[in-house]
Amino acid sequence: MQPARWILAAAICGTLAACGHTSDQGGHAAAKRSASAAAPAAAATVAAPIGIDLTGIDKSVRPGDDFFAYANGNWLKTARIPADRSNTGNFLTLFEKAQQRIAELIGNAGKGNPAAGSNARKIADDYAAFMDEAAIEKQGLAPLQPELTAIAHIASRADLARVLGSRLRADVDPINATHFHTDHLFGLFVTQGLEDTSHNIAYLLQGGLGMPSREYYLSDDPAMKGFRDKYRVYVAALLKQAGTPDPDAAAKTVLDLETRIARAQTSLIDSQDVHKANNLWSPADFARKAPGLDWNAYFKAAGLAGQKQIDVWQPHAVTGLSKLVAHEPLSAWKMLLRFHTLDRDANLLPKAYADLAFDFHGRTLQGVPQQRARSKQAIAEVDGDLGDAVGQLYVRQYFPASSRAEVEQMVHNIIAAFGQRIDTLSWMTPATREKARAKLTTLRVGVGYPDSWRDYGSLQIRADDALGNHLRAEQFETRHQLAKLGQPVDRAEWWMTPQTVNAVNLPLQNALNFPAAILEAPFFDPKADPAANYGAIGAIIGHEISHSFDNTGAEFDDQGKLENWWTPADAAHFKAATEQLAKQFDQYQALPGLHVNGEQTLGENIADVSGLTVAYAAYHQSLDGKPAPVIDGLSGDQRFFLAFGQAWRSKIRDAALRQRLATDVHAPANFRAETVRNLDAWYDAFDVKPGEQLYLAPDQRVKIW
């Protein structure tokens, strides 16, 4: 599950694929419009980089009918999704750029015979181990044998609790912090408490599924039923490859138990209610409220013994899952854990296992026809195992201090514009305004990279042990997170590496991270026209700032404490506006008969509207009262909105889109581009008239900040 991701960290994209979209434009017709209709009356020639892909614009589409298609239509006609990807677009372009740079850094890391134990040696050895397919084939399942043996020796419920606890890992990806992979019945995240903001606590969250979400098990949608049938075939094939007797019967056992786990889980929407997540349980509470699992044995094996309180994010799910531990046959749990162990890191096992896993998780669930090149997989593996070590090399080589300073200035400008809007909102009462101001004043912004780096000195990396390296890296990270429990909160802590193409708001820390890798063209170019920079990276910056003030940010004060700071009147106004936005997104059809869930995506949609609004205000303030120049026949406002529309340029495969709609809190990218319809200035910039498909009457345009 990925239910509470936003509360731990609200990002511009849930994952790289979540930034994608479908090329089906939701039924919007492509109406004709003359090229001159969208052009400003005045024209002047200004020699400056525009920062916009003029050739990608499709002038046969009216901006007011489908702004995404207008901004990107010509690009859409020729864009092809790579065979090894579920999507393509600007985010993938930047991701591939970062990956190429990382490949060069990894290649250079091994030169000159770096000292044993150094970061350079670890990077080179981790890459070499993944690329050594002969060694992986020779090892077979040997690296997993300790786990497989422990599972096979489960003879009691206490044994089961110990094995489940020993497999608990801290998930350090804030974007998917509550989406735990197959071997986690529960997930662990460590950060400050919802009420005690001075110390770190453990959060226990639901997990335990091999497919992306509970909907894959419970939905009556024909496509979902088809996935279940193919999943059963995959489970049987993987177990058979490992020599499991009667693999077809074993696969049925696994699917039946996972279906019961899915029924016990809490829905994505319910999991987004932070008040339902504020449940501090003592060890005695677990035994009383969630009987069935030997919690003392579980916590001891998990490294959580001695914790006086743990926050249980989905109490209904924890109770239900614990009941399943007590009542489902041990043989079923043993088979489930055996399959999960094989499936979890199948890409690090011999080719027969890796191919089976890709065929289901990539080809079937994502629609990706071709596995990525081995070298690209190796880069991703090193990046995951040694993220900060790679990040140090990345920023040293590719992120100059001048870029950091320029982005920091843009952030300062957008925060200032946000503050001015807070001061002038007619509907906001003085009490709420004061709290909002305090929150903006204490907002901590990190640009490019953290001020301190992870020390990998105690992590053993070997050049002949790919899977062992990864398992040790997971354990290393879990120990690091567990060591933070009960300790003072580091409010400067980063939750993304510099080479990540994303940006994040951390509500509990009241902080923002903008990694170096996203601070590149087409999102940011220090030489480009300011209109393009404010429309692209500026809107992303505004998006992340506004998360501190959206439907979830409103639940946290300036110190990240769970405390709603809205007066009843202000809360009522805010709720009415956000309900209107949810209904707006409910109308978007992503696939035939499958609509966006406006409630599920509400927080991100609020951030898009608010971020674009404040970025627009900051852009105009940056002009210092001077008129924006006309460049290539486009006014400043047109360039600003086009940059925003092109920032969401992407295509996604239908299977991958279906998965995102079921699991992600972000709307498909093409609909995010249509956010412009809520800003009055967009109507003026492109002469949008009543009757055009995106037209909203002034009182229907959502205005929050």
Domains for the chain: give ranges and CATH numbers: 52-98+401-452+492-700 (3.40.390.10), 142-372 (1.10.1380.10)
Q: Summarize the confidence of residues 434-451 as an average pLDDT.
A: 93
Tell me: pLDDT of 8 over 90: no
pLDDT category at 48 given cuts 50, 70, 90 is low
* pLDDT (tens digit per residue) in 128-181: 999 999 999 999 999 999 999 999 999 999 999 999 999 999 865 444 433 344
Q: Lowest-pLDDT range, 164-173, 647-656, 669-678?
A: 164-173
What mean pLDDT is reported for the chain? Answer: 90
Q: Summarize the confidence of residues 196-219 as an average pLDDT.
A: 94
Tell me: pLDDT of 46 over 60: no
Token pair belonging to 126: 């981790």
The single residue listed with the structure tokens 């409103």 is 554
Task: Write out the E strands in 615-660.
Answer: 650-652
Q: Summarize the confidence of residues 540-567 as an average pLDDT.
A: 86
Q: Summarize the confidence of residues 316-332 as an average pLDDT.
A: 97
pLDDT category at 9 given cuts 50, 70, 90 is low
pLDDT category at 240 given cuts 50, 70, 90 is very high
DSSP assignment, residue 17?
A: G
Q: Who's near 276: CB < 8 A, 6+ residues apart?
A: 270, 314, 315
Tell me: pLDDT of 35 over 60: no
Tell whether the torsion through CA atoms of 157, 485, 119 and 505 is positive or negative: positive
pLDDT of residue 704: 84
The CA-to-CA distance between both ends of the chain, in Å, stands at 31
Sheet holding 504-506, edge to edge: 10-11, 504-506, 511-515, 444-448
Nearest one of 610, 581, 508 to 198, comparing CA atoms: 508
* pLDDT (tens digit per residue) in 461-516: 999 999 999 999 999 999 999 999 999 999 889 989 999 999 988 888 889 999 99
Report the 10 Å Cβ neighbour count for 487.
Answer: 11
pLDDT category at 425 given cuts 50, 70, 90 is confident
Q: Summarize the confidence of residues 215-228 as an average pLDDT.
A: 95
Q: Cα–chain-centroid distance for residue 308? A: 31
Token pair belonging to 153: 């020796």
Q: Summarize the confidence of residues 582-598 as an average pLDDT.
A: 96
pLDDT of residue 42: 35
pLDDT category at 2 given cuts 50, 70, 90 is very low
Do 689 and 109 form a contact (C-beta atoms < 8 A)?
no
> Residue 525: what are its φ and ψ, rounded to 5°?
-140, 115
- % of the chain at pLDDT higher than 90: 78
Tell me: pLDDT of 5 over 50: no
* pLDDT (tens digit per residue) in 61-104: 999 999 999 999 999 999 999 999 999 999 999 999 999 999 99
Q: Summarize the confidence of residues 183-199 as an average pLDDT.
A: 89
Do 341 and 147 form a contact (C-beta atoms < 8 A)?
yes
Q: Summarize the confidence of residues 437-454 as an average pLDDT.
A: 93
- % of the chain at pLDDT higher than 70: 92
